[in-house]
Structure 1
Amino acid sequence: MKNNDLAFGDLKGGRLIFAAFVLALANFMVVLDMTIANVSVPHITGSLAVSSSQGTWVITSYAVAEAICVPLTGWLAGRFGGVRVFVVSLIGFTCFSILCGLSTSLEMLVICRIGQGLFGGPIMPLSQTLLMRIFPPEKQSQAMGMWAMTTVVGPILGPILGGSISDNLSWHWIFFINIPVGIFCAVAAMRLLKPAETAIAKIKIDSIGLFLLIVWIGALQLMLDLGHENDWFNSTFICALAVITVVGLVTFIIWELTERHPVVNIQIFRYRGFTVSVLSLAFAFGAFFASIVLIPQWVQINLGYTATWAGYLTATMGFGSLTMSPIVAKMATKYDQRALACFGLMILAVATLMRSFWVTEADFMALAVPQILQGFAVPFFFIPLSNMALAAVKPSEMASAAGLMNFLRTMAGAIGASIAITMWDDHSKIARSEMVATLHVDEVQNNLVQKGMSPDSALGYISHLVDQESLTLSANHVFLILSMVFVFAGLIIWLCPKPKPGVGGQPTH
């Protein structure tokens, strides 16, 4: 408690507001980097001469590395001090941002994105924790409101900034813009946040659990990212990765259940309310993240959108999220949160189903309407599910529960994006072969030649049209499956015990 009093006493007025701004800005930078690369993937793949599915590794590698590091935040802060870890994370994140921008190959870029994710992982939970430490209890809710706003605004501005920078400068600059922000936040944190430093203790690290976590998650993500290129389970390498994933996961679960200081507290799953809420959240976020990765790539490759316009399209969902977040937060205190979550997930299912009818000639508004609808629906599933998950555990287990929830949500996003892009790529080849089998190429080619085209140009034009339509049909197929995932997530939430109003933080078994 002494540490907290010291923090409140040393930071007042302008210094307190400035410290809060620095923490919120650092969080904003990390959240921004989750989505800033989404619309830049076609630029990156074109520059590095790799396929669109390989380009997705730039997004998934960051998400996986961040997911692995989030459960370690508590141990790192306890062992080295929250402010020290926060500053070192900012410096490491900035250094790897520079290396990402200087990357000349996909391999180098993916390795540097992993570095970014590892250092970026602790920044989000620590910025939240340190905000709570520097503000007195009566002002903590306002501080959390400012922090939450950066978390919502980041994913909205990410695609717009990423698109504008990629089109007008080059994709390298989406990483270079972190440099001044990272340096400013690191220097300001060192000077301002010393009073908020946490107590340090020699805490034992579950090194075996951490090793097993990295092994099975790494093997799973490699299997998903490399599977379709290696013909899935016809490849010995993919089969080996599958075995490592399953054996690693089973061993990890057994070890964590018997370890006194586990890196991931799996025993929290004994609460039905937590398990069902987090399962629903993981499925929903996986489908949600898959759609916001797939849409910018489809509109750029297929509809000829620039990265800037793809960013505008992706960001249209942000206005609904910003508007509804405070309203849903109030509604969650009055109404059954299971009903709110189910309502939000069904709206997401409808919005995604609308996308499964998209055509290659679709105009901007036809594409934007499901995005706007999705924006209004996101707070309805995100806020109640998060509240229900944390309200289902004991107060002493809340920090572990929050870490586990963020870990599973981030992992679900990375896995969802990998599977969606793989399905899109694979199904487009099937759709193309089916179209070619029923197409009377000679007849169409002759008609085009009669209109003044050369035979080769006519054939190239037909091939381009077939490619376009096969990618659209494949995207429609993926969206149909994602809409079913949302329905599933919305239905299983009713397996959750009814939350008791006004007992946040009390266990509901």
Structure 2
Amino acid sequence: MDTKNKPAELPPLTGGKLVMATIAVALATFMNVLDSSIANVAIPTISGNLGVSVDEGTWVITLFAAANAISIPLTGWLTQRLGQIRLFVIAILLFTFSSWLCGVAPTLPVLLAARILQGAVAGPLIPLSQAILLSSYPKAKSSLALALWAMTATVGPIAGPALGGWMTDSYSWSWIFYINIPVGIFAAAVTWSIFKTRDTATRIIPIDKVGLASLIAWVASLQIMLDKGKDLDWFQSPVIIGLAVFALFSFIFFVIWELTEEHPIVDLRLFKGRNFMGGTIAISVAYGVFFANLVLLPQWMQQYLGYRSVDAGLATAPLGIFAVLLAPVMGKLMPKSDTRVLATMAFIGFAGVFFMRSVYTTGVDTWTLVLPTLLQGIPMALFFVPLTAIVLSGLSPDKIPAAAGLSNFIRIFCGAASTAIVSTMWNNRTILHHSRLTEQASIYNSTFLDSIGNLQSAVGLPLQQAYAKFESTLNTQAAMLGLNDIFWISGIIFIVIIPLIWITKPARGGSADAAAAAH
């Protein structure tokens, strides 16, 4: 199909076509967002079935996010080469195919390879889904289109954990990937049938091959270093040292190259703007902390509290309830408010939620687990759009696509990297607390002797089994104390990064629409 002579603007869709187009594009968005959270509650099951540790199983999440982050900067170049609609449909079909590969994977390496492919082809889905929806609605109803998109994207965190847990417990973990197949085929077919005559113009432009190669080099080596560091005892291992050195030099080369390249794949010059710099760092660090905790919470519930996958999913599902309910309110509030105030409120809200979690005990009840997750939806509603408005404010229209791509790349990569970092921190804090608790397990400690005696007399356990039971209880307590440390540190981080918001200039009104489109 030749799209070179297509007009720059096409009339909006109407009637049944608009309804079906909205459903198809929304399903593609939902499929992508769902897949970033649906695997969280299934990691212990996947790890057990494939015969690997939970730490290794976490790669299923981090490698998807890392591959997704790398592919996002390519969206602009691919759109100009293939056309918006053609690229969107190809991405949906490849995402569907890679989902099938994930489901049939017999080993962890095969699953990880499929997840890398899945993350890579998912890169164009989010930005293109926004652009296609906006082009389908009249300009006067652009806010409605963005509200529909935002609600679809927010439903993912609600449905993902619960749906993933139910499928894992009732059927098999493979079904958390198979579910994408009918959804993807439907979305691709409907999108192509409606939009095939509405594709954007194409042109041949050079790609920054050296920049892309160096980007992949430093991101991949850094991610592998972070994921394998705990297993290889960090910098006691020559492998970790080698990866760190390679990542550092690749990153330095990448920065120098991109700053001097005429057509860089990532426009680092955008960091000269203080709104872009402050907003991007703030949203990326905040998202990294939020996402890492979103991964750890269901793992802890299943490993140490005995929750089934579906129960852990249901306990974390309320996350998006307030985010969905408050989305229309945010649409009216944004044009009248200072986005820095809204973002600050979001960070304070996140900090409060993590401080609530930092006092959990091993006897925590379900409501105490659910309440902070439910309340977290409030700062979520105040988080993405205002901060992205800050990031994009003051930029010329021709700079916004590159700025949105770079900001999203850094945010998603921070999500992948922080998951590995926080997982290691939890392990280290658990070991530290285990060591401190073990110091009390002495024959000279009357409390310890009483505990062992109670296990023998009240439960009727032999001495060795009593010791084993005590050790199991001690492990659970150490993990709880370690996780409390993570929650407390997470709350502190949200408070500490608030000044980043206030080094920026206020963004109002028009920036909000651009931000919503870039989210």
Alignment of 1:206-225 (within 5 A): 206-225=208-227
Bigger mean CA deviation after superposition, 425-434 or 395-404: 425-434
Matching residue of 1:482: 490
Secondary structure at the aligned position of 2:410 is classed as: helix
Instruction: Tell me the distance in 2 between the aligned counterparts of 1:275 and 1:123.
Output: 25
Alignment of 1:268-417 (within 5 A): 268-417=270-419
Alignment of 1:431-442 (within 5 A): 431-440=433-442
**Would the aligned equivalents of 2:157 and 2:319 in 1 still touch at CA under 8 Å?**
no
Q: TM-score, normalised by structure 2?
A: 0.94
**Would the aligned equivalents of 2:59 and 2:227 in 1 still touch at CA under 8 Å?**
yes
**Would the aligned equivalents of 1:391 and 1:505 in 2 still touch at CA under 8 Å?**
no
Secondary structure at the aligned position of 2:147 is classed as: helix
1:378-418 CA distance string (max 9 Å, x none): 12222211111111322220111111111111111111211
Matching residue of 1:463: 471
Matching residue of 2:480: 472
Matching residue of 2:159: 157
Using the TM superposition, give the Cα deviation of residue 353 of structure 1 relative to its aligned residue in structure 2, in angstroms: 1.1
Aligned residue type for 2:59: W
Instruction: Indicate how the Cα distance of structure 1 residues 2 and 128 shifts in structure 2: closer, same or farther if over 3 A, else same.
Output: farther
Instruction: Tell me the distance in 1 between the aligned counterparts of 2:194 and 2:150.
Output: 22
The one of 231, 252, 255 equivalent to 2:254 is 252
Bigger mean CA deviation after superposition, 41-50 or 493-502: 493-502
Matching residue of 2:144: 142
Aligned residue type for 2:248: V
Secondary structure at the aligned position of 1:229 is classed as: coil
Matching residue of 2:445: none
Matching residue of 1:77: 79
Matching residue of 1:449: 456
Instruction: Indicate how the Cα distance of structure 1 residues 503 and 154 shifts in structure 2: closer, same or farther if over 3 A, else same.
Output: closer
Using the TM superposition, give the Cα deviation of residue 498 of structure 1 relative to its aligned residue in structure 2, in angstroms: 3.2
Using the TM superposition, give the Cα deviation of residue 135 of structure 1 relative to its aligned residue in structure 2, in angstroms: 2.8
1:335-388 CA distance string (max 9 Å, x none): 221121111101111110111110010001111121122111112222211111
Instruction: Tell me the distance in 2 between the aligned counterparts of 1:12 and 1:326.
Output: 23
Using the TM superposition, give the Cα deviation of residue 480 of structure 1 relative to its aligned residue in structure 2, in angstroms: 1.2
Matching residue of 2:517: none
**Would the aligned equivalents of 1:281 and 1:382 in 2 still touch at CA under 8 Å?**
yes
1:159-216 CA distance string (max 9 Å, x none): 1110110111111110011111111112222222112211111110000000000000
Matching residue of 1:23: 25
1:273-318 CA distance string (max 9 Å, x none): 1110111101110111011111101111111111111111111121
Alignment of 1:107-146 (within 5 A): 107-146=109-148
Instruction: Tell me the distance in 2 between the aligned counterparts of 1:503 and 1:242.
Output: 39
Instruction: Tell me the distance in 2 between the aligned counterparts of 1:142 and 1:444.
Output: 62
1:2-28 CA distance string (max 9 Å, x none): 74578437x432122212211111111
Instruction: Tell me the distance in 1 between the aligned counterparts of 2:494 and 2:5.
Output: 47
**Would the aligned equivalents of 2:288 and 2:414 in 1 still touch at CA under 8 Å?**
yes
Instruction: Tell me the distance in 2 between the aligned counterparts of 1:123 and 1:499.
Output: 27
**Would the aligned equivalents of 1:130 and 1:196 in 2 still touch at CA under 8 Å?**
no
Instruction: Tell me the distance in 1 between the aligned counterparts of 2:510 and 2:39.
Output: 41
Secondary structure at the aligned position of 1:438 is classed as: coil
Alignment of 1:178-257 (within 5 A): 178-257=180-259
Matching residue of 2:426: 424
Instruction: Indicate how the Cα distance of structure 1 residues 78 and 503 shifts in structure 2: closer, same or farther if over 3 A, else same.
Output: closer
Bigger mean CA deviation after superposition, 446-455 or 259-268: 446-455
Instruction: Tell me the distance in 1 between the aligned counterparts of 2:258 and 2:59.
Output: 29
1:64-111 CA distance string (max 9 Å, x none): 111111110110010111111112111111111111011121111111
Instruction: Tell me the distance in 2 between the aligned counterparts of 1:501 and 1:81.
Output: 30
**Would the aligned equivalents of 2:8 and 2:200 in 1 still touch at CA under 8 Å?**
no
Alignment of 1:97-116 (within 5 A): 97-116=99-118
Instruction: Indicate how the Cα distance of structure 1 residues 394 and 4 shifts in structure 2: closer, same or farther if over 3 A, else same.
Output: same
1:429-456 CA distance string (max 9 Å, x none): 2221221121135553333222311223
Secondary structure at the aligned position of 1:333 is classed as: helix
Secondary structure at the aligned position of 2:371 is classed as: helix
List gaps (5 residues or longer) in structure 2.
443-447, 515-519
**Would the aligned equivalents of 1:53 and 1:425 in 2 still touch at CA under 8 Å?**
no
1:95-130 CA distance string (max 9 Å, x none): 111110111211111111001001111111111112
Instruction: Tell me the distance in 1 between the aligned counterparts of 2:312 and 2:273.
Output: 42
**Would the aligned equivalents of 2:221 and 2:246 in 1 still touch at CA under 8 Å?**
yes
Instruction: Indicate how the Cα distance of structure 1 residues 91 and 498 shifts in structure 2: closer, same or farther if over 3 A, else same.
Output: closer
RMSD (Å) for aligned C-alpha atoms: 1.8
Instruction: Tell me the distance in 1 between the aligned counterparts of 2:177 and 2:191.
Output: 21
Aligned residue type for 1:163: G
Using the TM superposition, give the Cα deviation of residue 142 of structure 1 relative to its aligned residue in structure 2, in angstroms: 1.8
Aligned residue type for 2:420: S
Instruction: Tell me the distance in 1 between the aligned counterparts of 2:508 and 2:90.
Output: 41
Instruction: Tell me the distance in 2 between the aligned counterparts of 1:94 and 1:71.
Output: 21
Aligned residue type for 2:506: K
Matching residue of 1:8: 11
Instruction: Indicate how the Cα distance of structure 1 residues 320 and 505 shifts in structure 2: closer, same or farther if over 3 A, else same.
Output: closer
Aligned residue type for 1:316: P
Aligned residue type for 2:452: Q
Aligned residue type for 1:122: P
Using the TM superposition, give the Cα deviation of residue 332 of structure 1 relative to its aligned residue in structure 2, in angstroms: 2.3
Secondary structure at the aligned position of 2:335 is classed as: coil
Instruction: Tell me the distance in 2 between the aligned counterparts of 1:159 and 1:500.
Output: 35
Q: TM-score, normalised by structure 1?
A: 0.95
Instruction: Indicate how the Cα distance of structure 1 residues 258 and 182 shifts in structure 2: closer, same or farther if over 3 A, else same.
Output: same
Using the TM superposition, give the Cα deviation of residue 139 of structure 1 relative to its aligned residue in structure 2, in angstroms: 3.0
Using the TM superposition, give the Cα deviation of residue 230 of structure 1 relative to its aligned residue in structure 2, in angstroms: 0.5
Bigger mean CA deviation after superposition, 497-506 or 359-368: 497-506
Instruction: Tell me the distance in 1 between the aligned counterparts of 2:77 and 2:234.
Output: 38
**Would the aligned equivalents of 1:66 and 1:120 in 2 still touch at CA under 8 Å?**
yes
Instruction: Tell me the distance in 2 between the aligned counterparts of 1:3 and 1:364.
Output: 56
**Would the aligned equivalents of 1:32 and 1:158 in 2 still touch at CA under 8 Å?**
yes
